[in-house]
């Protein structure tokens, strides 16, 4: 079996409206972003790189031995930051990069590796991501939960905050539960990219669907790029967005 080769890049911005300086929040003696890097290393990535626009983050993680890539503070999206990072790292067009968010210290290393592996198996895809089955009507109808419809070959057809696909007959009777066998999937926001796509991304114009849905991945679909979807049934640990999230993570990681 061919060895799975991939790089993990962790975008780490200092600015955060809900939890200022969260990337450097202390958890059991280490900054939050360092815990994320350890999860990425446990996924057996060839290299783990923290891409940051802030010297304080760069200094903190470099002191712990992590590779750092200093990027511009002006990037509008994390994908743009990755695109600069792959050039600074001189990665080849066919290499695979997994974007792991810097505020997910409990992410399962197996999920990181699974998304990288999905892209490696699908040469026609520019991106791979993940989805988790939805079994709750409340979750399905929640606009804060992004849904994805997947075709028979395992590629994303569309992502939306709307309830898709829509069970017309069943929901005409009741929206309190989902019908048996209903293919409802929650999108998990982790991505593996071919470096070639990241270099092209900056030239892609935003699409109307992307702007109205506020979903960046629709830009790739709108310009004809294929997104492979890995199905994940393991636990989905939430990231750190609030002080309550940080307190919960501190309790979990301190106990471990």
User: What digits encode the pLDDT tens for the residues 131-185?
Assistant: 999 999 999 999 999 999 999 999 999 999 999 999 999 999 999 999 999 999 9
CA angle (28 as vertex; 252, 63 as ends), nearest 5: 135
Name the residue among 49, 40, 131 with its Cα closest to residue 88.
49
- The pLDDT of residue 14: 85
- The pLDDT of residue 202: 84
Question: Rounded to the nearest 5°, which phi and psi values hold at 145?
Answer: -100, 120
DSSP state of 158: E
- The pLDDT of residue 1: 61
CB 240 within 8 A of CB 39: no
Instruction: Classify strands 96-99 and 7-12 as parallel, antiparallel or unpaired.
Output: parallel
Q: Which residues of the chain have pLDDT under 50?
A: none
Name the residue among 133, 138, 135 with its Cα closest to residue 175.
138
Q: Taking the CA atoms of the chain, what radius of gyration do you get in angstroms?
A: 18
DSSP state of 59: H
Instruction: Give how far the C-alpha of residue 89 lies from the chain's centroid of Cα atoms, to the nearest Å.
Output: 20
CB 159 within 8 A of CB 215: yes
Question: How far, CA to CA in Å, does 217 sit from each of 39, 158, 191, 220?
Answer: 24, 9, 10, 6
- CA 154/CA 114 separation, integer angstroms: 14
Q: Which CATH architecture has domain 7-129+187-205+218-251?
A: Alpha-Beta Complex (3.90)
CA angle (159 as vertex; 75, 33 as ends), nearest 5: 45
H-helix or E-strand spanning residue 102: none
Which pTM value belongs to this model? 0.95
With b for 16 or more beta-carbon neighbours within 10 A and e for fewer, the 134-159 pattern comes to beebebbeeeebbbbbbeeebbbebb
């Amino acid at each position: 079996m061919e060895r799975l080769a991939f790089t993990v890049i962790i975008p780490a911005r200092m600015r955060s409206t809900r939890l200022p300086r969260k990337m450097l929040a202390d958890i059991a003696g280490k900054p939050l972003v360092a815990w994320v890097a350890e999860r990425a290393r446990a996924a057996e990535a060839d290299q783990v790189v923290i891409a940051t626009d802030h010297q304080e983050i760069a200094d903190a993680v470099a002191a712990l031995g992590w590779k750092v890539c200093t990027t511009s503070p002006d990037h509008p999206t994390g994908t743009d930051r990755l695109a600069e990072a792959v050039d600074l790292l001189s990665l080849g067009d066919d290499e695979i990069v997994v974007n792991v968010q810097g505020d997910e210290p409990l992410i399962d290393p197996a999920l990181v590796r699974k998304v990288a592996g999905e892209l490696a198996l699908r040469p026609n895809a520019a991106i791979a991501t993940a989805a988790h089955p939805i079994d709750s009507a409340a979750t399905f109808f929640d606009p804060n939960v992004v849904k994805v419809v997947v075709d028979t070959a395992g590629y994303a057809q569309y992502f939306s905050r709307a309830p898709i696909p829509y069970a017309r007959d069943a929901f005409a009777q009741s929206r309190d539960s989902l019908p048996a066998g209903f293919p409802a999937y929650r999108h998990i926001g982790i991505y593996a990219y071919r470096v070639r796509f990241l270099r092209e991304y900056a030239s892609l114009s935003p699409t109307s669907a992307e702007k109205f849905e506020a979903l960046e991945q629709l830009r790739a679909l709108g310009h004809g790029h294929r997104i492979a979807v890995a199905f994940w049934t393991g636990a989905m640990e939430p990231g750190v967005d609030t002080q309550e999230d940080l307190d919960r993570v501190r309790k979990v990681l301190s106990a471990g």
